[in-house]
């Protein structure tokens, strides 16, 4: 079968969403494969199904394919939309489930990661689907919703209770959180507060804060040893 970056489409709720799936060169249907769902940031939104491979995990795969021995599903959120929205979450999960079937994914080793807006999506999707993911890795993701999310901002989403709510829903799922100390876009306090909330809830969390790094902390995350 084909390997590398492959074009695919998933149909959800009457709409078609193009996405990319990366299949390692040594893929074989004789074994079960771990699967990673990657959620891009606000700058990579669109409907060409390609832009989201250019920032974050896709870049690392192209440079260091040996670091990512997994099926990687890269959905694309529409322009002017957010991963927070049920329709966008549904297309990402649809692409994930379709890829698990097509490429013999191991349902016990499905992982979720995302950066910035996709970091927020990682928190939201993990909270809405407890037990689905073997582990999650949100990178510089807001937990409380920032004013730039426009019409989606509600009192509930901006509430301080949000950290506790998400922490409780995620439960015992292992979490590794990443953030740049000098992030000018998403305050580092977002990650610090959710990490504290997960600890307080008895969850399983690690936190890596990169000193002197701004918003693009994902460049370090995806080449982090042990990641």
pLDDT tens, residue by residue, 56-66: 999 999 999 99
Mean pLDDT, rounded, of the chain: 93
Structural element, H or E, at residue 60: helix 57-63
Q: What is the rounded distance in angstroms from the CA atom of residue 92 to the CA atom of residue 165? A: 22
* pTM of the complete model: 0.95
What count of Cα atoms within 13 Å lies in the side-chain half-sphere of residue 39?
34
Distance, CA of 10 to CA of 98 (rounded, Å): 8
List, for residues 76-126, the tens digit of each pLDDT value. Answer: 999 999 999 999 999 999 999 999 999 999 999 999 999 999 999 999 999
Residue-level pLDDT, tens digit, the chain, 227 residues:
789 999 999 999 999 999 999 999 999 999 999 999 999 999 999 998 889 999 999 999 999 999 999 999 999 999 999 999 999 999 999 999 999 999 999 999 999 999 999 999 999 999 999 999 999 999 999 998 766 666 666 667 677 789 999 999 999 999 999 999 999 999 999 999 999 999 999 999 999 999 999 999 999 999 988 88
Measured in Å, how far apart are the chain's first and last C-alpha atoms?
Answer: 28
Q: Is the dihedral of CA 40, 43, 49, 54 positive or negative?
A: negative
């Amino acid at each position: 079968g084909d390997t590398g970056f492959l074009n695919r489409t998933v149909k959800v709720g009457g709409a078609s969403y193009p996405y990319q799936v990366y299949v390692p060169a040594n893929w074989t249907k004789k074994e079960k494969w771990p699967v990673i769902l990657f959620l891009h940031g606000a700058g990579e939104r669109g409907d060409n199904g390609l832009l989201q491979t250019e920032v974050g995990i896709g870049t690392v795969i192209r440079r260091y394919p040996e670091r990512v021995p997994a099926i990687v599903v890269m959905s694309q959120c529409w322009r002017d939309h957010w991963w927070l929205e049920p329709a966008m979450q549904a297309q990402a999960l649809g692409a994930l489930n379709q890829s698990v079937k097509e490429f013999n994914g191991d349902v016990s080793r499905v992982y979720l990661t995302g950066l910035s807006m996709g970091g927020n999506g990682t928190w939201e999707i993990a909270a809405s689907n407890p037990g689905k993911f073997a582990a999650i890795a949100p990178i510089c993701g807001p937990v409380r919703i920032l004013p730039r999310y426009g019409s989606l901002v509600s009192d509930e989403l901006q509430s301080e209770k949000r950290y506790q709510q998400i922490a409780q829903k995620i439960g015992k799922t292992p979490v590794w959180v990443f953030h740049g100390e000098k992030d000018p876009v998403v305050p580092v306090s977002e990650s610090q507060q959710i990490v504290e909330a997960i600890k307080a809830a008895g969850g399983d969390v690690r936190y890596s804060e990169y000193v002197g790094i701004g918003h693009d902390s994902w460049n370090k995350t995806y080449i982090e040893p042990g990641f």
